[in-house]
């Protein structure tokens, strides 16, 4: 099986082109676990497949390092756009990609050597009802704006936002030093989140900049999370600590993303995408 390893701000996945490769449906989760293993596999945050779609230019599916499937991945979808253009599967610079969260619109920014250097993604509208995450902290049709949960006897406030996948955002004094490894896994699997949740810890530097760290559902601490950065900016706008229609710089461990939350509810993300390497993976390793 041919694979390509790519990353967006260090959030790295193994990408498989389903126009060239065939993977049985029941093998996708085991394969994600196998390739993500840093000791016996390739090492990654998971597996992303790129293949044909009947409703868009391509379809992407995202499998976390634990084999669970995610609805969307902001860093991953930028890499999908780069793969499609750089590998001559399209020469359009405005394309669509089908995800479990819906159809995303991508604008590809072409750099030197006719290769994609950055991608702007219309991530669609933020979904704000508790039922959209879902979270069981109140009335399903209302917004989880200052909801509370208890971890280790400590009561914490969070804001819930869905970008097609669920996010719980916590505003903290210093995201850079906050014990993400302690709180992240406990919040991810908290009883309030029946489908688990991505957990973001954010600090406002000013109205145009946010420090950000993340514990991703199914993967743990990662260098970056595009949908999480989008959710963090939406939450900050809901709390009136930054402004809609403005480009907000989100500082992640792997680098910066520009996020804009428009008045129509749509969230736009701009950031880089890079190819790391290509290679061959042994035939049907999930059968071993």
User: Of 189, 187, 191, 219, nearest to 201 (Cα)?
Assistant: 187
226 is in an annotated binding site: yes
Would the annotation count 220 as a binding residue? no
DSSP secondary structure string for all residues of 51-116 = E--SSSSEEEEEEETTS-EES--HHHHHHHHHHHHHTTS---SEEEEEETTEEEEEEEEE-GGG-E
Among 73, 230, 237, 242, the one annotated catalytic: 73
Is 262 within any annotated ligand binding site?
Answer: no
User: Does residue 246 contact residue 99 with C-beta atoms inside 8 Å?
Assistant: no
Q: Does the annotation place 39 within a ligand binding site?
A: no
Using CA atoms, how far apart are residues 90 and 41, in angstroms rounded to an integer? 30
Neighbours of 168 (CB within 10 A): 30
73 among known catalytic residues: yes
75 is in an annotated binding site: yes
Active site residue 225: yes
User: Do residues 248 and 257 lie in contact, with contact meaning Cβ atoms separated by under 8 Å?
Assistant: no
246's CB contacts (< 8 A; 6+ apart) are: 207, 208, 260
271 is in an annotated binding site: no
Q: Is 81 annotated as a binding residue?
A: no
Residue 94: which residues within 8 A CB-CB, separation 6 or more? Answer: 105, 106, 107, 108
72 is in an annotated binding site: no
Q: Which residues does the annotation place in the binding site for substrate?
A: 11, 64, 74-75, 165, 198, 216-217, 226-227
Catalytic residue set: 73, 225
Q: Residues annotated as binding site?
A: 11, 64, 74-75, 165, 198, 216-217, 226-227
């Amino acid at each position: 099986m041919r694979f390509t390893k790519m990353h967006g701000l260090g959030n790295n996945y193994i990408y498989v082109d389903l126009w060239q490769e065939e993977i049985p449906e029941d093998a996708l989760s085991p394969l994600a676990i196998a390739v993500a293993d840093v000791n016996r596999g390739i090492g990654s945050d998971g597996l992303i497949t790129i293949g044909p779609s009947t409703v868009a230019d391509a379809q992407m599916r995202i499998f976390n390092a634990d084999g669970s499937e995610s609805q969307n991945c902001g860093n991953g979808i930028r890499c999908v756009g780069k793969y499609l253009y750089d590998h001559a599967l399209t020469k359009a610079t405005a394309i669509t990609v089908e995800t479990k969260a819906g159809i995303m619109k991508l604008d590809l920014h072409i750099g030197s050597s006719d290769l994609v250097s950055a991608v702007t993604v219309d991530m669609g509208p933020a979904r704000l009802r508790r039922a959209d995450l879902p979270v069981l902290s109140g009335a399903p049709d209302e917004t989880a704006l200052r909801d509370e949960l208890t971890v280790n006897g400590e009561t914490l406030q969070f804001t819930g936002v869905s970008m097609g996948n669920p996010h719980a955002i916590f505003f903290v004094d210093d995201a850079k030093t906050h014990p993400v490894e302690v709180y992240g896994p406990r919040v991810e699997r908290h009883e309030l989140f029946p489908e688990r949740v991505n957990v973001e810890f954010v600090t406002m530097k000013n109205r145009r900049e946010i420090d950000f760290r993340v514990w991703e559902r199914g993967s743990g601490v990662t260098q970056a999370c595009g949908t999480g950065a989008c959710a963090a900016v939406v939450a900050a706008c809901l709390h009136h600590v930054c402004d809609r229609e403005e480009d907000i710089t989100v500082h992640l461990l792997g680098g910066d993303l520009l996020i804009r939350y428009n008045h129509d509810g749509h969230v736009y993300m701009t950031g880089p995408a890079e190819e790391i390497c290509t290679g061959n993976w042994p035939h049907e390793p999930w059968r071993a």
